[in-house]
Structure 1
């Protein structure tokens, strides 16, 4: 029997951690089946006491202490280290049932300290996995840009634990696989609520997909992506179609701060912000919610504060539905950094005033911007 340490680096290095590391859970499940002793390490002390240490991270900016990766008993992987070139897990690990109890002690500690259970629901209530992997879109910024198609990855029973109440799918582009309907029916037949955590491809919606998808026992909010204002006409047509089938809340990831032309000049930064504003207006029109996601180089922008302010406003649904962006700035206070960022941007680009005053309820009703 070997002593195995599993380290979820994001668990240690980030302020908030609301989602388990699937690779860590699979490694734990595999080694427990081999009758090894497995420990979830929440620090980097005493690693020499273990026969093998597995270190994984999802986010590229998660800090790893100096010297850890050079230890002879440490193996590391994940998109946080290798982005789109992350090595695959061994087949016997990749297709092993995840250990849904790996985080139990850590989660219980958080709950005992007063945390709300809902914040840790993905550790407690969900079976998590991929039915498919890959995407054919080849977006420059995406970790899946090296794929050219969507492939079957795992059968549902491989990662669905009967004891877990719900299912969370991490598929990259589920609707892009020809067998989407068969797999969707299998999900429905479980009777369990389920969700696609990474979002679905709105551009692939048609009558059949809308009818099947929006009749599911869906968990949380249907999530899609609206990453480029150039797709506005196509996205709007799909939104009209979707609204024929559901009044349910729809959320769209809105990626920004990435220059597809590779120039990263001041003209790009202003255009990018206005492109984001236009996408948000379209989503308001169809009672959809934006979720602003910023590429890391947004921090280089002369309008860095605008990206932060827009995201803080748009990513709080309760506030977004009630307040315009201008009202949000005023709520922060005339002396606040948010107000100053927006005031300076409006002075430089007076046309921003139109978007500052957009209000969710008014736009969704087709009414005045008040």
Structure 2
């Protein structure tokens, strides 16, 4: 029996992390099946005592001590290290049923410290996996930009735990696969709630997709993406189509701070703020919720604080639904950084005032 440590770097290195690492769970199951002793390691101390250490991370900005990466007993990987060039797992690991109990002891310890069971819902109640992988959009900022099509990846049975209430799907562009209907009907037939954590491609929706999707037992908000102002008209048309089938909340990831021309100059930063506000206006009009996601280089913007303020407003639906951006800034106080950032941008660009006073559902 080998003594093996598994480190979920995002869990160790981030303040909040509410979703388990699928690779870590598959590695754990694979090694346990071989009779090895597995420990979910919560720090980087004394790693030389293990015969093998697996380290995985999803996010690029999750810190990992540099000296750890040179350890002879370490194997590391994931998009957090290699982004779009992450090497695939060996087939027998990639297609192994995950070890859904890898995090159990850690969860118990966290609850004993005062956290609630609800905070670990994804760890406790979800079956997690991919029915499909890949995309054909070639978005330059996306981890899937090197794919040319959507491919079948795993059968549902490969990761479905009958005891778990929810199916959490990590598919990149589910409706981009020609067999979407067959797979969606299989999901519905389980009788379980399911959700697409990465969102769905609104631009692909048709009547049949809408009828089946919106009548399903879906967990949480339906989530899509509105990343490019050039898609405004098609997004509006598809929201109108969706509204024929559901009144439930539609949430849209709104990516910003990425210059497709690669310049990141002042002209871009000014335009990008306005394009973000315009996308928010469109979503407001149709009673949809934006969720602002910022590319890391927004930190370089002269309007960094404006990005932060807009994201804080949008990403808290209780505020977004009840008050305008200007009212949100005033709620923070006229001496606050939020108010100052927005005020400075409006003084430089008076046209921004129109967007500041827009109201959800107004």
Both proteins in one fold, TM over 0.5? yes
Residue 199 of structure 1: aligned partner: 199
State how 1:28-43 maps to structure 2 within 5 Å. Answer: 28-43=28-43
Structure 1 stretches lacking a partner, 5+ long: 363-370
Which secondary structure does the structure 2 equivalent of 1:17 belong to? coil
What TM-score comes out, normalization by structure 2 length?
0.99
Q: Distance in 2 between matches of 1:188 and 1:207?
A: 18
Is this contact kept in 1: 2:286–2:361, CA < 8 A? no
Residue 259 of structure 1: aligned partner: 259
Residue 91 of structure 1: aligned partner: 91
Residue 19 of structure 1: aligned partner: 19
Residue 218 of structure 1: aligned partner: 218
Is this contact kept in 1: 2:305–2:341, CA < 8 A? yes
Residue 169 of structure 2: aligned partner: 169
Q: How far off its partner does 1:316 sit?
A: 0.3
Deviations along 1:308-336, one digit per CA (max 9) or x if unpaired, are 00000000011100011001100110000
Deviations along 1:59-114, one digit per CA (max 9) or x if unpaired, are 11111113100000000000000000001111000000000000011111111212
Residue 297 of structure 2: aligned partner: 297
Residue 45 of structure 2: aligned partner: 45
Is this contact kept in 2: 1:223–1:253, CA < 8 A? yes
What TM-score comes out, normalization by structure 1 length?
0.97
Q: Distance in 2 between matches of 1:361 and 1:330?
A: 20
Residue 349 of structure 1: aligned partner: 349
Q: Distance in 2 between matches of 1:119 and 1:250?
A: 23
Residue 331 of structure 2: aligned partner: 331
Residue 189 of structure 2: aligned partner: 189
Q: Distance in 1 between matches of 2:325 and 2:107?
A: 36
Q: Distance in 2 between matches of 1:136 and 1:201?
A: 11
Residue 231 of structure 1: aligned partner: 231
Q: Distance in 1 between matches of 2:297 and 2:172?
A: 23
Deviant stretches of 4+, over 3 Å: none
Is this contact kept in 2: 1:150–1:176, CA < 8 A? yes
Aligned length: 362
Is this contact kept in 2: 1:56–1:77, CA < 8 A? yes
Q: Distance in 1 between matches of 2:286 and 2:352?
A: 21
The answer on 1:148 being equivalent to 2:127 is no
Q: Distance in 1 between matches of 2:334 and 2:182?
A: 55
Residue 316 of structure 2: aligned partner: 316
Q: Distance in 2 between matches of 1:117 and 1:3?
A: 29
State how 1:283-294 maps to structure 2 within 5 Å. Answer: 283-294=283-294
Q: Distance in 2 between matches of 1:33 and 1:163?
A: 20
Residue 129 of structure 2: aligned partner: 129
Q: Distance in 1 between matches of 2:116 and 2:319?
A: 21
Deviations along 1:21-40, one digit per CA (max 9) or x if unpaired, are 00000000111111110000
Q: What is the alpha-carbon root mean square deviation over aligned residues?
A: 0.6
Q: Distance in 2 between matches of 1:357 and 1:149?
A: 42
Q: Distance in 2 between matches of 1:340 and 1:116?
A: 36
